[in-house]
Structure 1
């Protein structure tokens, strides 16, 4: 009996060591695959856009469609973590550029812009955006943004409102929106270990690829997305969500500014008591405010792009922005 227990113990130890070895091998494989994939993909990334140098010497990438001083300008701002805003907004931009000059701005840490490690406070991001537009000699424009860009836009308009002729939000955030803390350090560690790539390979939607883009463009978005995923700027922005939302709650949109909120039906259904109501509160008492609910997910400009382009044109025309 004694020998039996010794033998059972030895077998159990060997099994445990084997399991530990398998776990270590799995982690090492995930890390190694990601490490060499990043090196390989870095060589495949094709640059695009125009680099605009602002204070501090950092370069922000801008994509301009439908250039023309005789056209009104729409400045497009991305939602949080969008891998390649220039490619993400390409389809919408090309539907609008017949009548408008479209300026797609990639904030620091996004797309082909620099990673600066400058604190991602709303004040800093808005200052950077304004410097870029000033460098491009753009001084009269419509702000149009997806998701969290709505939060930054509220404060931007409060500071530079004399330059903004309208605001359009694509399922944009609002200041009193419920927020949960994001475990940024944990996500950054998982990313360095290669697990974000593994998750994205299992759940491709995590990369938010533009659905009707060519495979070549989708591959580029993947390469850029893996490179930028949870970098210092993107991570710091997430850390400051609560701070930035609270900051936006201290200001309000002008009561006469043309404002058009295009809301996702799925966002509204997921939060039926506050999502639409939160947007209604932002335009209360504003005769130039409008809300429209479109069927589809949060990335409405991926699924309702033609409707958005038509409705935006109609809205701006109705306010003589043409």
Structure 2
């Protein structure tokens, strides 16, 4: 099916496939790199309510991995080191040089942690937006993984039949045209095979991340009420934060915390980066 998406998008080429990176703000300012959680159909729009409050002080970058947003539905390797490698290559191709502050949501917390482990000079800090940690995924049983993948496949089938029109999508902070784009991206992307392949790889990726040294960099972790994720979510976040010396902010809201607490989060991000003097020379 052909989708008539907006035409002002900029892509980078990764091994013959198009990958979209949203960029806005002054390129000379500190770079905030937003990384989406599993199954986020349109990261560029989902994060907007938060990054629009930060754009005056920072360079905003949203990576849309393959299968996400406007990027190609390309089923490449889901091994965590390979996923990080192509994201680094994409940023380099776009002229966005490190250091970065990584802002992972949900599952991409693993990627942010691993990025710091593999390329420590790239990452000035990690600010988790209800980010996942290896602890949670390593608690899952094989039956839990199979159950979740089975549910994703059911939703995929319903979406292809056009029966997921009821599926909730937040329009917070979006204008009419952006809402239209969001709906199109939902139709194209929701529960695609890239997401399912990621789910199959998540436990192995968590083990790889857990087997290496914990990241040593300034970390701030915003944590949801845990009700929309998994058992022991808050406790696991607390344990991981204690292990890496991260500052934590516990919020009484759902998993997409930027939908509910964008004002508070943006204010705290500014304070944290300023306090840690991460970019004294910029």
TM-score normalised by L of structure 1: 0.77
| Match for residue 212 of structure 1 among 173, 176, 191 | 173
Counterpart contact for 1:53–1:60, Cα < 8 Å: yes
Taking the aligned partners of 2:71 and 2:190, their CA distance within structure 1 comes to: 13
**Where do 1:168-247 residues align within 5 Å?**
168-177=127-136, 178-179=139-140, 180-182=144-146, 184=149, 187-188=152-153, 191-192=156-157, 194=159, 197-198=162-163, 200-202=164-166, 204-205=167-168, 208-247=169-208
Aligned to 1:72: 30
Residues 201, 285 of structure 1: CA spacing in aligned structure 2 closer, same or farther, 3 A cutoff?
closer
**For the structure 1 residues 285 and 185, does the alpha-carbon distance in structure 2 shift closer, same or farther, using more than 3 Å as the test?**
closer
The unaligned stretches of length 5 or more in structure 2 are none
Match of 1:20? none
Q: Deviating runs (4+, > 6 A) in structure 1?
A: none
What CA distance in whole angstroms lies between the structure 2 residues aligned with 1:186 and 1:293? 29
Looking at structure 2, the residues matched to 98 and 62 of structure 1 have their Cα atoms a distance apart, in angstroms, of 19
Q: 1:318 to 1:49 in 2, by over 3 A?
A: farther
Among candidates 247, 253, 271, match of residue 214 of structure 2: 253
Per-residue CA distance 1:177-219 (angstroms, 9 max, x = gap): 0332145467446634646742x333x32xx334332343222
Residues 120, 161 of structure 1: alpha-carbon distance in 2 compared, 3 angstrom cutoff? same
Question: TM (normalized to structure 2)?
Answer: 0.87
Counterpart for residue 222 of structure 2: 262
**Corresponding residue of 1:292:** 249
Whichever of the two has the greater Rg, that structure is 1
Q: 2:72, 2:189 → 1: CA distance? A: 10
Q: Is the 8 A contact 1:62 1:105 kept in 2?
A: yes
Gap regions ≥5 residues in structure 1: 1-38
Q: Check 1:302–1:182 CA distance in 2 against 1; reply closer, same or farther (3 A cut).
A: farther
Alignment-derived partner of residue 108 in structure 1: 66
Deviation at 1:49, TM superposition (A): 3.4
Q: Which has the higher helix share?
A: 1
| Corresponding pairs, count | 272
Whole-angstrom CA distance in 1 between matches of 2:213 and 2:239: 10
Match for residue 18 of structure 2?
59
Does the C-alpha gap of structure 1 residues 47 and 244 become closer, same or farther in structure 2, counting only changes over 3 Å? farther
- Show the counterpart of 1:50: 10
Match of 1:157 among 91, 97, 116: 116
Root mean square deviation, CA, Å: 2.4
* 1:119 is aligned to 2:77: yes
